[in-house]
Amino acid sequence: MKQAGKTIVIGHRNPDTDSICSAIAYARLKTKVTGKEHIPGRAGAVSPETKYVLDYFGVEAPTLFETIGTQVKDIEFNRSPGVDHNISLKKAWSLMKEHGVVTLPITQDGKLEGLITMGDIANSYMNVYDNHILAEAKTPYSNIIETLEGEMLVGDPNALFDKGNVLVAAANPDLMENYIKEHDLVIQGNRYESQLCAIEMNADCIVVSTGAPVSLTIKKLAAEKGCAVISTPYDTFTASRLINQSMPIRHFMKTGGLIKFSADDYVHEIKEIMAKERYRGFPVLDENGDYYGMISRRNLLGMQRRQVILVDHNERSQAVEGIENTEIVEIIDHHRLAAIETVQPVYFRNQPWGCTATIIYRMYKEEGMEPDAQTAGLLLAAIISDTLLFRSPTCTYADREAARILAELAGVEPERLGRDMFVAGSDLKGKTPRELFYQDYKVFDWEGATVGIGQISSMDEQELLEVKEKLLPYMQKLPTKHATDMFCIMLTTILAETSEVICDGQGTLNLLKMAFPEAEVRGNSIILPGVVSRKKQLIPALMDA
């Protein structure tokens, strides 16, 4: 479960094959080069094309991060175990001082029962209780022995004092008979007559102070009458002052309205809650609901944010949710430059090639390494996907040369792999309109306007016609609830190397007409022969328009 210290390598939302395969390959490279573990992540569902690639090369899909950021489990906080609800107030106080905490978690079988604070204990000392409180709290004799640093001479340490009052035998035996009742606990000195009187009055326990010896006769009589005998080195005054500290903490612990956090909670979310509460310590539960530790505001001071490397994008609108709560340490991309803010300077590599995987392959070479066959296969598949099997105008000599070498390392034939990938990715029949719309959808910010552009590619022109029939009614309902000002979907026929762009949103079609004045318009769509690249052909034309 714990991922503290690990750097996450992750692509954009609605990830494509390049985004996922590059994340895997770069995480492997960074782990080898730095010796620090890097794990690949994904910011959305795996597409059918990508699933085919992962299955083909025997690789598990990266961990899904619907949102990202530093989680509670990623930071250092108090992992001290919980305490039993029967420990004494004095023991709880000692533990707090020993560990430098002000709150103790109380657990049973790993589950959180309640909390007790230094304030609760202080209040228990300051509040005026009657002499029945020790019994009301059902105090174990073992707690009394521990608190008074005493010794049980007669009786069962595990039994409870749960019925009588607590008395100090300061009077002579004649007067004691008037106020000692059955089941009482009597604190007294070494006077034989007083001890005998308490036993004969059916007291449940006598506490003999100053470590005075107790005669065999008293012990025998006490055993016969079921009266416990405890010897303490403290004097009578001190013993009477301390004895309330033997009460079990369960009598004072808070059990209702506890503010608890999960180890999977994000720190930026719990900060707001902690700031509003007066408590200094908050319990943390693990994924099974078991007690995990205690966290305080102090633990959040100077904490390190989760480190993230972005691949295949550099725009805030395309990044995984919560990216602003992380520390971005690197960006590897092949798209236009946009606005991602970073706290510190970062390593930023952006090259005008057809695929991020080409850049990552080059980085392997720069480190004097060759990717293994499996990693080479993933990088090859990413290049094939992003360049539409080298047909896209985004494809460069660097992409073709990298693909040639990677194909040799992976032992696969690029044309055959590419066709099988596209066939797998073209299986669009079972998808809902929403799934189709967001399959490969990116949002771009231009001059204060947001433009969403999706792309669906297929080997089968008829399949794209069926997709269009599904999407048009869905898109007509989007403007009232969609966050973008304009949006469109490219339906790209790979073999014909042409795209039909269907659109909705105010002014989208007019923008397309301005960008491609010679193109054929069909209702709410425009036909673009030779246009297959969103990045290099559609987006630049729209930006110019």
Q: Name the CATH superfamily for 433-544.
A: DHHA2 domain (3.10.310.20)
pLDDT of residue 74: 83
Residues 6+ away with beta carbon under 8 Å from 360: 22, 25, 26, 29, 311, 332, 379
pTM for this prediction = 0.65
Domain 7-70+305-425 in this protein, CATH class: alpha beta
pLDDT of residue 479: 60
> Are β-strands 38-43 and 63-64 bridged in parallel, bridged antiparallel, or unpaired?
parallel
Structural domain boundaries in the chain: 7-70+305-425, 73-124+251-300, 138-246, 433-544
Task: Name the fold adopted by 138-246.
Answer: 3.40.1390
DSSP E strand boundaries for 424-485: 441-446, 449-458
Q: How many CB atoms lie within 10 A of CB 404?
A: 11
| Burial zone of 127 (CB within 10 Å; 0-12 exposed, 13-18 middle, 19+ buried) | exposed
Q: Residue range 470-494: average pLDDT?
A: 80
Q: How many CB atoms lie within 10 A of CB 102?
A: 16
**Per-residue pLDDT reduced to its tens digit, 290-349:** 999 999 888 887 677 889 999 999 988 889 988 888 889 999 999 888 767 787 889 999
Domain boundaries 73-124+251-300, corresponding CATH code? 3.10.580.10
Q: Are 98 and 414 in contact (CB under 8 A)?
A: no
Q: Tell me the H-state helices in 265-318.
A: 267-276, 297-300
pLDDT of residue 1: 37
**Per-residue pLDDT reduced to its tens digit, 108-152:** 999 999 999 998 888 877 765 778 899 999 999 999 999 999 999
pLDDT of residue 166: 94
**pLDDT bracket for residue 79 (50, 70, 90):** confident
**pLDDT bracket for residue 3 (50, 70, 90):** very low
Q: Residue range 265-280: average pLDDT?
A: 85
